[in-house]
Structure 1
Amino acid sequence: MSTATTTTEAQDLAPVSTESLAELLIAGDRPQRPSAVSASLTFGWRAMLKIKHVPEQLFDVTAFPIMMVLMYTYLFGGALAGSPSEYIQYLLPGILVMSVVMITMYTGVSVNIDIEKGVFDRFRTLPIWRPSVMVGYLLGDMLRYAIASLVMLAVGMIIGFRPDGGVLGVLAGVLLLLVFSFAFSWVWTMFGLLLRTEKSVMGVSMMVLFPLTFLSDIFVKPETMPGWLQAFVNNNPITHVASAVRDLMAGTSPGSSLLWALGWAVLLVAVFGPVTMRLYNRK
């Protein structure tokens, strides 16, 4: 009975010729290759979808910035400026720069995690602009940086921060910070590709970030420091960015600080961008 059924099914199947198989495999024109902008935006959207499915990733751009603003304002405000309300005018632009710059390290951590999962093996087979994968990571993180900035500004306004530069000055300061953070994140993409584990990426990033952020003019003016320390602080890229953001929000001309901040951004992309892509192509 089963033999007869098998024979009947085999007779009902249409024979597959070489010509018909070729028509199935080569059916129509190949899809158009996506542009560099389209591919980058697609990977940026992928980074934002990861935040949607794992909302705990927003903890470092919500709770952490609020804690930083409140802690440093009320801890140092009375000792350094006489009152927290006076100190917040100087502190908030600087602590905003510090918080956003510190969370840039998670870009490298995300890259390292995807490498360990094997996701990059699939990405490298796609007919896309090679840097779009890295650019997409950075574009997705720009949303996180913007959220952190809004949260800190909201908390600052509640406890007494009043920017004399108005809305335009605040927007200009945040935009400058986002540009610098985008450039600075290329450093961590390089370490994400270079180091073996995500813990190694976080360890190296903390070793770099703590001296850069604390040895700057974020908390106090460099004039109060020893001469040998002023030499480092005055040439620290974080000092240039914090000073430019502070001046823009205060409604005063940032002068050379703005040029230095933009120059550092260009230099970081020019140096670490090619190094990152070289590691990406070889890894």
Structure 2
Amino acid sequence: MSSLVYDGTAMLGRQLRRARNNPGLLILTQTMPVTMLLFFGYVFGSALAMPGEEYRSFLVPGLLVATAANGIMTGMFQAAQDVHRGVTDRFRALPVSRAAVPLGQAVADAVVTAAGTVPLLLVGLAVGWRIEGSVPEALGALGLLLLFRFATTWTGIFLGLLTRNEEAAGQLGGATFLLPLLSNAYIPADGLPGWLRTAAEWNPVSAVATALRELFGNAPVPEGAAWPVAHPVAGSLAWCAVLLAVSMPLAARRYARGER
């Protein structure tokens, strides 16, 4: 256990230096959600039944979760890039814990995500979004958001180790943009057709977005929703637990074996 912590800390430092040496990617990942907030909030908001400011309050938690869901894409690309360029093989040759490398990547991604949420929150406050709940509830919302990002990053790491090619991982990772679109991140799901509403409400993004809206005090829980959305905090924790229980051991095992 001590070896995992020590080696994981070393890998965390390596991933943070990697992020620091790629400022273009950091700027893109931090400015894209802000751009989407301004676009969706002022363009789509006028086309929905919600008034503009009310829709922006609805949208900010959804964008936070949509950004967290991109952990699949970033985790997949970075893991596949390391495999494709031979970095993973060099790490396997070192006397380090096999689980430390993906763990360091996942923790570093959560740290970068925590820093990246600050600009989006500030712009959200500037356009009318407010935290209507208590401080502990707001902190709980941010903690849940980072937990979801951590879980999706582990899912991406496993998929990246499977693809083993950064180009293929980049193309496949682009498909993750469909997850927020098929959810209540941008629009309420209760206006969707029956089968589409069911699919959206069983999307993990919908549960976490609803949980954040509830904890921030921005919107009530929809009536008649599927269980993960009707009980959003419990549903979000359940989705995170499932993602971590499946992806963490599979990713660590795949990394350790180095299967081709």
TM-score (norm 2): 0.89
Quick check: 1:237 aligned with 2:237?
no
Q: Which residue of 1 aligns with 2:145?
A: 177
Q: What's the secondary structure of 2:95's corresponding residue?
A: coil
1:246 to 209, 213, 216: 213
Query: How big is each residue's C-alpha offset from its partner over 1:140-190, in whole Å with a ceiling of 9 and x where there is no partner?
Result: 111221122111111100111111014433322111011011011112111
CA drift of 1:246 comes to 1.0
CA distance in 2, matches of 1:151, 1:169: 20
Residue 224 of structure 1: which of 172, 175, 191 is its match?
A: 191
Are positions 1:63 and 2:38 aligned together?
Answer: no
Report the AA paired with residue 243 of structure 2.
L
Of 86, 90, 96, the residue aligned with 1:122 is: 90
Matches of 2:146 and 2:101, distance apart in 1: 19
Between the aligned partners of 2:31 and 2:201, the Cα distance in structure 1 is 31
Query: Aligned residue for 1:190?
Result: 158
- The alpha carbon displacement at 1:253 in A equals 8.6
- 2:79 corresponds to which residue? 111
Larger radius of gyration: 1
- d(CA) in 2 for partners of 1:103, 1:70: 22
Q: Which has the higher contact order (CA 8 A, sep 6+)?
A: 2
Matched-pair contact (CA < 8 Å) for 1:41–1:139: no
CA deviation after TM superposition for structure 1 residue 72, in Å: 0.7
Give the aligned residue type for 1:215.
L
Partner Cα separation in structure 2 for residue 229 and residue 248 of structure 1: 26
Letter in 1 for 2:15: A
Match for 1:277 among 252, 257, 260? Answer: 252
Partners of 1:253 and 1:217 lie apart in 2 by: 13
- Aligned pair in 2 of structure 1 residues 233, 251: CA closer, same or farther (>3 Å)? closer
Residues 80-121 of structure 1: per-residue CA shift (max 9 Å, x gap): 145321211111101111122125411221112222222222
Q: Aligned pair 1:53/2:27, yes or no? A: no
**CA distance 1:217–1:82, shift in 2 (3 Å):** closer
Whether the 8 Å CA contact 2:207–2:236 is kept in 1: the answer is: yes
**Which residue number corresponds to residue 20 of structure 1?**
none
Equivalent positions of 1:200-211 (< 5 A) are 200-207=168-175, 209-211=176-178
Shift of 1:251: 7.4
**Is there any run of 5+ residues in structure 2 with no aligned partner, and where?**
222-229
- Partners of 1:150 and 1:191 lie apart in 2 by 28
CA shift for structure 1 position 196 = 3.5
Q: Decide whether the 8 Å contact of 2:46 with 2:52 is kept in 1.
A: yes
Q: Note if contact 1:166-1:251 (Cα within 8 Å) is conserved in structure 2.
A: no
Instruction: Please provide the CA RMSD for this pair.
Output: 2.0
- Runs (4+) of structure 1 exceeding 4 A deviation are 251-255
Q: Secondary structure at the match of 1:219?
A: coil
- The equivalent residue for 2:225 is none
Matched residue type, 1:100: A
| 2:182 is the counterpart of 1:215 | yes
**Which residue of structure 2 lines up, in the alignment, with residue 257 of structure 1?**
232
**How many residue pairs align between the two structures?**
250
Length-normalised TM-score, structure 1: 0.82
Q: Which residue of 2 aligns with 1:95?
A: 63
CA distance in 2, matches of 1:82, 1:121: 53
**Superposed counterparts of 1:28-43, under 5 Å:** 35-43=3-11
Residue number in structure 1 paired with 2:41: 73
Partner Cα distance (1:243, 1:217) in 2 = 8
> Is residue 51–residue 58 contact of structure 1 (8 Å, CA) maintained in 2?
yes
1:231 and 1:82 mapped to 2: Cα distance? 22
Q: Share of identical aligned residues, percent?
A: 32
1:148 corresponding residue in structure 2:
116
Deviation sequence 1:37-95 (CA, Å, 0-9, x none): 12112111111111222222212332112111111101111121453212111111011
Deviates more, 1:98-107 or 1:145-154: 98-107
